[in-house]
Amino acid sequence: MLSMFLAPETKEAAKAAVGNVAAAAPPAPPAPKLPPLETLHSWAMPTQASTFAESTDNLYLFIVFLDAFFFVLILAAMGYFMWKYKRRSPDQKTSSITHNGKIEFLWSAIPAVLLVVIFAWAEIDFIKQTTPPADAIDIRVTGRQWFWQVDYPDYPGVSLTSSTEEPLITMIVPKGRPVRLIMTSEDVLHSFYVPAFRVKKDVVPGRYTTLWFEATRVGEFNIFCTEYCGDRHSSMAGVIKVLEPASFEAALREAAKLEQKPTESVADFGGRIYTRRGCNACHTLNGDPATGPTWKGLYGKSETLADGTTLTVDDNYIKESILQPQAKIVAGFTGANMPSYQGQLDDKQITAIIDFIKQQK
């Protein structure tokens, strides 16, 4: 019965729909790439892709239909009574009615029973959704203005980040295995939301919150931040990829691999790190300051620090800025804090970033 509310959300269909819109509109400037579309029909429920999705939707639809039923019933009764008991003549008096015990009991008892049904149903789902199974895979999620960083404690060195510049895979999980996210924020409140899984939880600075799910279908699904967290809140979107357990580990290693390709120059590799490791969330290349200073014209310039001293930006200063960002703070950026990449970027990757920064003249 519920299938009529579900979208024909195959990827091909999504692509075709995007194509149609583009064909009708005049040529537009290249739009930023977005995570894959999941739902085409604006009336449809989002794709169901976790073990929580179906019961959440059933409860939701139960409440919607119940509301619709009583809405029609009450308005119809109201209309009927207005017509039936209309005042017939100017001297007609209202008959004296005190009360009707039977009806008053029913209109209290029936809604009360229905509310208890909704409560019990929701509570059972809530308990299920807040108790992760003991064998769940742990994944750490860090929210920052404005990207997600995802680390896998069981796979040391594997670190993924979200980025709107390419629809990057932000998280990879196996199908049919419970996954627990341990989440925290390094700045302000964020909220981690995967509509297709029907899971959402606040990500709070100075505290860990957890969330768990078990994906039921292979595919790519949207991640959103649903707590307004600053002016680029909307760019805190990512993609979660669900794979068969057999291909999960290899795909994870592949996605996390950040090595120079044989066809790539060192600086181009640095450019890839710039988007893959979230530098682009805080540093622009076009001269505009963001959370951090722009990289345009950075190399070789004379930088003024917060303590009033100046220095010339060279390879050593850039390396130190990446590994110990707090050692030398740029004037005007004392409030914002850059995360340290100590242990997350190796020397080769840092050299590539330096080469990339040199190119930003």
Residues contributing to the site for ligand HEC (CB under 6 A): 144, 277-279, 281-283, 291-293, 298, 303, 313, 318, 321-322, 325, 329-330, 333, 336, 338-339, 341, 353
CA angle (191, 196, 201) in 5-degree steps:
20
**Residues within window 216-235 making contact with Cu ion, judged by CB under 5 A:** 225, 229
Q: Quick one: 201 or 272, whose CB is closer to Cu ion?
A: 201
SS3 99: coil
Binding mask 94-133 toward Cu ion (x if CB under 5 A, else -) reads: ----------------------------------------
The interface partner of residue 225, options being Cu ion, ligand HEC, none and the CB cut-off 5 to 8 Å by kind, is Cu ion
Q: Is 236 in the site for Cu ion (CB under 5 A)?
A: yes
CB of 226 to ligand HEC, least distance (A): 20
The interface partner of residue 282, options being Cu ion, ligand HEC, none and the CB cut-off 5 to 8 Å by kind, is ligand HEC
Query: If you search the block for the tokens 């300051």, which residue do you land on?
Result: 289
Q: Is 190 in the site for Cu ion (CB under 5 A)?
A: yes
Q: Quick one: 219 or 325, whose CB is closer to ligand HEC?
A: 325
Q: Quick one: 229 or 345, whose CB is closer to Cu ion?
A: 229
CA-CA distance, 324 to 32, in Å (whole number)?
A: 32
Q: Quick one: 132 or 271, whose CB is closer to ligand HEC?
A: 271
Buried b (16+ CB within 10 A) or exposed e, 65-93: eeeeeeeeeeeeeeeeeeeeeeeeeeeee
| Crossing angle (nearest 10°) for helices 266-276 and 347-359 | 100
Q: Quick one: 236 or 256, whose CB is closer to Cu ion?
A: 236
CA-CA distance, 64 to 57, in Å (whole number)?
A: 10
CB of 299 to Cu ion, least distance (A): 31
CA-CA distance, 243 to 246, in Å (whole number)?
A: 8
CB of 45 to Cu ion, least distance (A): 24
The interface partner of residue 303, options being Cu ion, ligand HEC, none and the CB cut-off 5 to 8 Å by kind, is ligand HEC
Give all strands of the β-sheet with 199-203 in edge-to-edge order. Answer: 169-174, 238-243, 219-225, 190-194, 199-203
**In Å, how far are 152, 205, 259, 324 from 142, measured between CA atoms?**
12, 9, 23, 19
CB of 194 to ligand HEC, least distance (A): 23
> Tokens at residue 107, please?
């209109």
Q: Quick one: 29 or 206, whose CB is closer to Cu ion?
A: 206
Contact residues: Cu ion, CB under 5 A: 190, 225, 229, 236
